Amino acid sequence: MKNKKEIDLTISNFIGKKGSLIPLLQEIQKLEGYLPKETLRYLSQKTKIKLARIYGVATFYSMFRLKPQGKHIIRVCKGTACHVSGAEDIGKAIRKELKLGELEDTTDDGLFTVMEVACLGCCSLSPVMMVDDNTHGKLTPEKVTEFLQKYK
Amino acid sequence: MSLKIKVGMASCGLAAGARDVYQAIQKYLENSKLEADLASTACIGMCFAEPLVEIIDADNNSLTYGDIQPQEVETILNDYLEGKIHKDKVILSNIMEGSENENLKNQTRIVLRNCGRIDPESLQDYLENDGYKALEKALKEMERTQIIQEIKDSGLRGRGGAGFPTGLKWQFAYDTPGPKKYFICNADEGDPGAFMDRSVLEGDPHSIIEGMTIGAYAIGADEGYIYCRAEYPLAIKHLQKAIKDAKEAGYLGKNILGTDFNFNLHIKQGAGAFVCGEETALMASIEGERGMPRIRPPFPAQSGLWGKPTNINNVETLANVAWIILNGAQKYNKYGTEKSKGTKVFALAGKIKNSGLIEVPMGMPLKDVIYKVGGGMKTEKPFKGVQLGGPSGGCVPAELLDTIVDYDSITKTGAIMGSGGMVVMDEATCMVDVAKFFLNFTQNESCGKCTFCRVGTKRMLEILTRITEGKGTMEDLETLEELSENISQGSLCGLGQTAPNPVLTTLKYFREEYIAHIKDKRCPAGVCTALLKYEITPEKCVGCTACARVCPVEAISGEVKKPHKIDQDKCIKCGSCYDACKFDAITKS
Ligand SMILES: Cc1cc2nc3c(=O)[nH]c(=O)nc-3n(C[C@H](O)[C@H](O)[C@H](O)COP(=O)(O)O)c2cc1C
Ligand code: SF4
Ligand code: FES
């Protein structure tokens, strides 16, 4: 565990509070970048929440990642409005620019993780993607390539 | 000269580049003799024209410029100083003709009353626009039952999808005795194509807090949650600030407005699961569990969050509450139709010109929503259909555009009002592909509890995929219909029950398109890749070899400077050659 001290602090902030498992996992993911197995095991020991329950929750929600993820998260919208406005081509352009294979989602240099999401709430500017917390709209495959250069 | 300049900085504005515009104005103001207060506001709904900049002078004359690029800021403001107005850029104004003045005139804004007008991070701005007056009235002048009666009389129905009468829901929660009750705001807005909740949360967070506090007082709750999806970071930020400010000013927390009423409000962030928008799943998620729906009854009003009586309402529903309390039920139910009162916000997206948010009285014909307020089609291609209600809804074809927008009329078409997302589609959209898209969505988002929802949607998706690949049979259509029936009967929650709607409505209104895929192996819209055929027009081909070089499977042959040819057996329809050809010599059919 990289951030044991911070994790301990987070756990002690939440311990005993009702309904705290999801925010706890969110905080841990923020610290560690993802949810490593050993950290979940540690969490289970400290909180006395059964590991199976933790794992059940961690696998239910799409935001939780059990594998390491890139420094920047790219969320490509595959919602209805974006779908009819060419989201497919945007996704392809991103994958091409980052040289990602069909089943890969994180670049070899650990810089980017690409995910698909169902709607970013900016449908009026479709197609849309979100890089970390910044949303970019009215995309074209060319614009995407340009944006990604900036983050590299 | 005292000026106010406002830049629209909701996530849609930011996505269109509003931050750069804001900074450009900031820089301009530092080095110029123009004195102005620069402020940010949220989204007025005209997302198609973003970034937006509004200039208001001391006499309250307002000009809203649309589509402003950072490099234009200097010229526009210099010219403004000299009294010159870039008329072609003005979309809204109270002193002159703006291209969208008419658009706004056709709307009735109750939910969106403050959006894009006030600074969402300023409690002061909210207070200056009648903020928290309704709460004061409710706490000090009204009985709890009177508040509930007022909401009942207004005819307000839940805007989260099901359209359940809000006053009645509050009554149920009020009637259940108990020292501990909860009031929840459903801000999970998972329906792709809908973004009104985001806009209200970002643009007018205090209105939600006020609506919730009034509701909590009425039903007797002292604790509340706003369950907001994590994809909306700006909404969460504005809510956090608003809660803090409201607490400090005595509109939330202990002894609200000096009364003995307490209400504590928390924000819970979602973690990316569409089904958590379903009320019982949402509560499971707040409790820290997997967000799986529970059997009702018991209804939340009897046993909800942690087994306590709970009321849950959607963001848009709650945004109406303060307005109704302040202006009275009679004024609200003047708008709308017999069974659907008030206004409804619609999110227009897809191939429509004025994509963004609009609010109109219930009962407006779809045609007017799309052509009058929405400005009609963005593309040259004709209108084909409009998708209403997201994954639970359906596609309404051109011949039904006279349908009015209210709960019952839309349900009659086979679609649903849902949360009010309207995705407009033109002839370049394949309806089988759209049906497949939604089934893919529901199949992904099914929580897996019910067999029919879990497995049935997968089977339907497989059939639809087969059809889009030209491998479908006519029996497949019957199987689809049979599965639809079974899935809607055999599912516990709304997700499964309504999952077949996109398929059923497209089968009903666009059946010939399914048949074209099955019998003629043809996709009339030219969307389904497997059915496409790329061909080279020999007369146009100059033999530059660009196509042959990009083809990943070496399906293109020909000598330099002579027309090339595509080997159809080898072609994998990737479209690389189509994109590479500079002479329009390749056709896609
Ligand atoms: C699969 C599913 C997803 C839902 N998603 C949402 C949502 O994102 N937002 C919402 O307000 N209601 C959603 N609902 C409806 C809620 O269950 C509930 O009816 C609503 O929050 C009640 O509020 P209202 O009476 O103000 O409409 C969803 C329902 C289902 C079945
Ligand atoms: S209908 Fe689907 S989403 Fe709803 S409870 Fe059943 S399996 Fe879960
Ligand atoms: S559909 Fe892409 S942002 Fe909503």
| ipTM metric | 0.93
Cα dihedral across residues B298, B299, B300, B302: positive or negative: negative
> Which CATH number fits the domain that encloses residue B70?
3.40.30.10
- Sequence-distant (≥ 6) Cβ neighbours of residue B15 within 8 angstroms: A122, A125, A128, A135, A136, A137, A138
**Is A67 domain-assigned?**
no
Q: What is the mean pLDDT of chain B?
A: 95
Domain boundary among B409, B426, B443: B426
Separation of A78 CA from ligand 3 center, angstroms? Answer: 7
**Is A66 domain-assigned?**
no
Q: Give the pair of three-digit tokens for residue B5.
A: 């300049």
Find residue B346's DSSP bridge partners.
B358
Chain center to CA of B290: 25
One domain for residues B152 and B13: no
One domain for residues A95 and A129: yes
> Which CATH number fits the domain that encloses residue A127?
3.40.30.10
Find residue A130's DSSP bridge partners.
A75, A135
- How many domains is chain A built from? 2
C-alpha–C-alpha distance, residues B253 and B249, integer Å: 10
Rounded mean pLDDT, B385-399: 95
C-alpha–C-alpha distance, residues B539 and B547, integer Å: 16
Q: What angle do CA B437, B438, B443 make, to 5 degrees?
A: 105
B282 pLDDT more than 90: yes
Burial grade of B508 (CB within 10 A; 0-12, 13-18, 19 or more) = middle
One domain for residues A111 and A144: yes
Residue B308: per-residue pLDDT: 98
Domain boundary among A18, A34, A60: A60
B560 pLDDT more than 60: yes
- E strand or H helix that includes residue A151: helix A141-151
C-alpha–C-alpha distance, residues A54 and A52, integer Å: 5
- From chain B residues 507-546, the ones with a CB under 8 A of any chain A CB are none
Q: Residues for chain B: how many in total?
A: 589
**Is B114 domain-assigned?**
no
C-alpha–C-alpha distance, residues B204 and B216, integer Å: 19
CA dist B20 → B8, B14, B39 (Å)? 12, 9, 14
One domain for residues B313 and B242: yes
Rounded mean pLDDT, B236-256: 98
Task: Judge whether B383 is closer than 8 Å to chain A, CB to CB.
Answer: no
One domain for residues A29 and A77: no
Q: Give the pair of three-digit tokens for residue B458.
A: 């997968």
**Is B11 domain-assigned?**
yes
One domain for residues B264 and B210: yes
**Is B177 domain-assigned?**
yes
B194 pLDDT more than 90: yes
Rounded mean pLDDT, B39-49: 94
Cα dihedral across residues B228, B233, B234, B239: positive or negative: positive
Q: Which amino acid is at B383?
A: F
Chain center to CA of B408: 20
Using only the alpha carbons of chain A, give its radius of gyration.
18
> Which CATH number fits the domain that encloses residue B359?
3.10.20.600
Residue B588: per-residue pLDDT: 84
C-alpha–C-alpha distance, residues B349 and A84, integer Å: 10
Taking alpha carbons only, the member of B485, B509, B495 closest to residue B391 is B495
**Is A89 domain-assigned?**
yes
Query: Picking from A62-71, A141-150, B234-243, which range would have the lowest pLDDT averaged per residue?
Result: A141-150
For residue B22, give its domain range: 3-99
Do residues A1 and A38 make contact, with C-beta atoms less than 8 angstroms apart? yes
Taking alpha carbons only, the member of B424, B297, B266 closest to residue B358 is B424
C-alpha–C-alpha distance, residues B294 and B331, integer Å: 38
One domain for residues A79 and A142: yes
C-alpha–C-alpha distance, residues B561 and B582, integer Å: 14
Rounded mean pLDDT, B88-97: 93
Q: What are phi and psi of B286, to 5 degrees?
A: -60, -35
Q: Which residues of B74-106 are buried (b: 16+ CB within 10 A; e: fewer)?
A: eebbeebeeeebeeebbbbbeeeebbbeebbee
One domain for residues B365 and B308: no
Find residue B93's DSSP bridge partners.
B63
CA dist B55 → A137, B92, B102, B103 (Å)? 25, 11, 19, 20
Domain boundary among A20, A40, A60: A60
Residue B8: per-residue pLDDT: 96
**Is B481 domain-assigned?**
yes
> Is the CB of B421 within 6 Å of ligand 1?
no
Res. A52 pLDDT band, cuts 50 70 90: very high
Q: Which of B12, B348, B429 sits opposite A122 (nearest CB)?
A: B12
One domain for residues A55 and A78: no
One domain for residues A8 and A52: yes
**Is B524 domain-assigned?**
no
Q: What are phi and psi of B396, to 5 degrees?
A: -100, 125
* Cis, bond preceding A36 (omega within 30 deg of 0): no
- Sequence-distant (≥ 6) Cβ neighbours of residue B98 within 8 angstroms: B63, B64, B90, B91, B92
One domain for residues B458 and B564: no
Coil, strand or helix at B80 = helix
Res. B32 pLDDT band, cuts 50 70 90: confident
**Is A65 domain-assigned?**
no
One domain for residues B580 and B455: no
Residue B1: per-residue pLDDT: 54
Residue A101: per-residue pLDDT: 86
**Is A133 domain-assigned?**
yes
**Is A120 domain-assigned?**
yes
One domain for residues B28 and B51: yes
One domain for residues A23 and A49: yes
pLDDT digits (tens, 9 = 90+) for B120-131: 999 999 999 999
Res. A149 pLDDT band, cuts 50 70 90: confident
Task: Judge whether B171 is closer than 8 Å to chain A, CB to CB.
Answer: no
Chain center to CA of A72: 9
CA dist B107 → A152, B372, B583 (Å)? 45, 10, 47
**Is B85 domain-assigned?**
yes
C-alpha–C-alpha distance, residues B393 and B161, integer Å: 10
Residue A146: per-residue pLDDT: 86
Pairwise CB contact (< 8 Å): A23 & B16: no
3-state SS string for B476-500: HHHHHHHHHHHHHHCCCCHHHHHCC
Do residues B270 and B232 make contact, with C-beta atoms less than 8 angstroms apart? no
Q: Give the pair of three-digit tokens for residue B488.
A: 């809607």
Task: Judge whether B445 is closer than 8 Å to chain A, CB to CB.
Answer: yes
Q: From the candidates B52, B195, B275, B432, which should be mutated to test the interface with A, based on the most A CB atoms within 10 A?
A: B195
Interface of chain A against chain B, CB under 8 Å? Answer: 18-23, 25-26, 56-57, 60-64, 75, 79-85, 117-126, 128, 130, 133-138
One domain for residues A77 and A144: yes
Res. B183 pLDDT band, cuts 50 70 90: very high
- E strand or H helix that includes residue A146: helix A141-151
One domain for residues B65 and B95: yes
One domain for residues B200 and B165: yes
Give the whole-number percent of chain A exceeding pLDDT 90.
80
Q: Which residues of A touch B192 (CB under 8 A)?
A: 79-82, 118-119, 123
One domain for residues A109 and A135: yes
One domain for residues A29 and A82: no
- How many domains is chain B built from? 5
One domain for residues B132 and B262: yes
For residue A144, give its domain range: 72-149
pLDDT digits (tens, 9 = 90+) for B347-389: 999 999 999 999 999 999 999 999 999 999 999 999 999 999 9
One domain for residues A97 and A139: yes
**Is B477 domain-assigned?**
yes
Residue B467: per-residue pLDDT: 97
One domain for residues B144 and B248: yes
**Is B406 domain-assigned?**
yes
**Is A130 domain-assigned?**
yes
One domain for residues A82 and A54: no
Do residues B324 and B399 make contact, with C-beta atoms less than 8 angstroms apart? no
**Is A24 domain-assigned?**
yes
One domain for residues B379 and B392: yes
> Which CATH number fits the domain that encloses residue B563?
3.30.70.20
Domain boundary among B298, B332, B366: B332
